[in-house]
Structures are given as C-alpha cells and as structure tokens.
Homo-oligomer: A and B are copies of this chain.
Amino acid sequence: MVDTTKTVRFGILGCAEIARKVARAIDLAPNATLCALASRSKEKAEKFAAENGFPASVKIYGSYDRLLEDPGVDAVYVPLPTSLHVRWVVMAAGRKKHVLVEKPAALDVAELDQILAAVESNGVQFMEGSMWLHHPRTAHIQQLCFVPSSAKSIGPIHFIHSTATMAATPEFLESNIRVKPELDDLGVLGDLAWYCIGASLWAKGYQLPITVTVLPDVKRNSAGVILSITVSLLWDQPIQTLATIHCSFLSHVSMDLVICGSDGSVHLRDFTIPYQETSASFDVTFGAKFVDLHIGWNVKPEEVHVVNELPQEALMVQEFSRLVAGIKDCGSQPSAKWPEISRKTQLVVHAVNKSLELGCKSVSL
C-alpha cells in the first residue's frame, strides 16, 4: 500500500510532448500524483488533459503563475523550452515548489547558477530529467564494473565513446523548439549531447575533464542552431582518459555507450532509452585475450539482463518524490547530488560552446 501522506503532488508547467511521458511516469510512481496542469492557454491544457486521459481531479490552469500559487502543489515538472527555465524555475522555487526540470538544465552556467541559488535559498529539491541515470541498469554497471575492489572491475578507464543520434523529421528540423534559436539555441548540444556528456561524467565518477575539444564536423541549420556535433573530453586522473561523443539530429537512431578500461569493457546500444520498458541489458567483457595464433578470443562478451519493475522515468519521479517527501515530512535537507550533476554537465556544455567559438580549439576547464 502506498502511504498517501508521503505522496508528492505534482503540477506540470506546459503541454510539451515530453510531458505526456512524464505525466504517465507520475501516475506510475507509487509516491507521486498529478494534481495540476498549466498552459498559457487554458483550452490547450484542457485538450492535452483530455487527450492523455488525466483524471478529473487534475486542476487545469490557464497560466503558469496560477498553478504556482496553488498550495496543493508540492512540486512542478518543467518541460518548457530551455530559454524559459531560469524564469519559471526561479519563480517556482520562490513559491517553495520542488522542481523537476527537463534537460538541458539551462541555456548556460550563469542561468543555471541563478536557478540553483533560488532552489538552495528556498530549500527545495532540484532535479533535471536525465531518466537513464535512474534505470537500475545504470547502478548495476557501476557496481559491477567501476568499483575497484570488485572482482570484475574494468579497471582504470582509458576510453569512453557515446553517441546519441536520431533522424529528425523535416517538420522537426523546421519547427521543433530544439532547433529554434529563440527557444533553445543549444540545439542538439543541449538535447542529445546532454546525455552523452552526462554518461561520460558518470563513467568518470563526475570528475570534470581537463579539456574539451569540438571536432570539425559541426552541422547547423540556417538559423545557426547546432544539428550535429562531435566532441572529445580529456581527463588526466587517475590515468589519461579520452571520451568521444557524437550527437546528431540528422542520422539514424543510435544510443551507444562504450567504456573501455585496463581489464574489461562495457557496451550498451540503448543507454538513454532502453529497447523495451521492462528490462534492459548490457554487455561486459573481462580479461579478453586472443587465443594462440590470434585466431579467436578466449571469451565473448557476457550479456547481463536487468529487470526493472517501473520504467526509468517513473523511477526518476519516484526518487525525486522520495527526496521531496523527506524534506516535506522529515525535515531533511535537499540532496545536493542532482544539482551538482546538472551543473557539471552544464559546465562541459559551456566549454563545448567555447571550443566552437574558438574554431574547435581545446578549452580548459
């Protein structure tokens, strides 16, 4: 049985496509409930609520302000265009609403710092919507492969490679908010690259790279928004590690993540969005060598399956709600982990932009 006293009541700001997925996740999470939806147009919000089967108990607001004034809302999910994050997250924090914000967290580090100052001074929880971090597969890989004392650690990491690509439709490339400079001028860098940068940082235990370098295949649309980019990140501790990242709205779907250490490697091909909802897998290879004469390998990759009872986005909502309930009901402090992860990701995005401005020169962090 769900302890309803600990159920966190969510409002959603805006009717973005992704809000459909997160509304469902709120419904699935045992400690969360959807209680309000706002759009600048009440008609639009009503239509969205009807189309997505929201229960009649969900209040519909024709303005974001009105939703934020509702004392029955504990937390808001903010899927607005990135350029609007700073305004509405700061506003929400000021009204003591906990905030789950869609990625990228902000347009730049300065805006994110405004956001984080607001959530900190108001004592509310901040989390950004990188769902894959909440899949049990992610923790499973970490425990199996990254813990030095574990029997099967992959050892110090030499190389990380990740991709996040999708073939956007002509309509998307023409009109989606992610390719409109006035709404989200980071383009693919704020959208798909956010995942790959996040995954590289995760693999390196959230150590920041020492340099960030853009490779010379950047593609932009006519408005200058980045549609495709390749980036390399370099670390020098505990050993030199290089990560390459390729992200594109112009290519076939790929979501690869490969991490190669001294003693083993991990391969995923669906790291941001698992092929299916109820389980996911990854391949690990430990102690591979070529057999005599180099006519084969001594081992093949081992496929590890991880079952998840809830989809990763529901697990994200559950974790966020757990933290919110702790603050609300037990006087806990907001967790600093999630703001820190977002800020480090944003710092790397910032460095990528700087490298771009400098004509693909390496930028130190």
Residues of chain A having any CB pair with chain B under 8 Å: 18, 20-21, 24, 154-155, 158-159, 161, 163, 165-167, 211, 213, 215-217, 219, 228, 230, 232, 234, 240-242, 244, 246, 248, 250-254, 256, 258, 260-265, 267, 269-270, 273-277, 283, 285, 288-290, 293-297, 300-301, 311, 313, 362
Contacts and interface: CB of A to CB of B under 8 A. Distances in A.
A313 B290 CA distance: 15
A358 B185 CA distance: 34
Contacts of A244: 161, 215, 230, 244, 246
A260 B232 CA distance: 18
Nearest to A276: B296
Contacts of A362: 216
A254 B228 CA distance: 26
7 contacts: A21-B293, A24-B293, A158-B248, A158-B250, A215-B232, A254-B285, A273-B295
Given A21-B295, A211-B216, A253-B285, 14 more contacts: A159-B251, A161-B246, A161-B256, A213-B215, A215-B242, A217-B234, A232-B232, A244-B246, A251-B260, A252-B261, A269-B283, A269-B301, A275-B300, A295-B311
B297 A275 contact: yes
A255 B251 CA distance: 23
A343 to B, nearest CB: 25
Nearest to A248: B158
Contact of A273 (B20, B263, B290): B290
Given A232-B230, A295-B21, A252 B248 contact: no
A19 to B, nearest CB: 11
Nearest to A215: B232
Contacts of A313: 295
Contact of A158 (B228, B234, B242, B283): B228
Contact of A258 (B158, B256, B262, B277): B256
Nearest to A162: B161
B234 A216 contact: yes
Nearest to A157: B251
A18 to B, nearest CB: 8
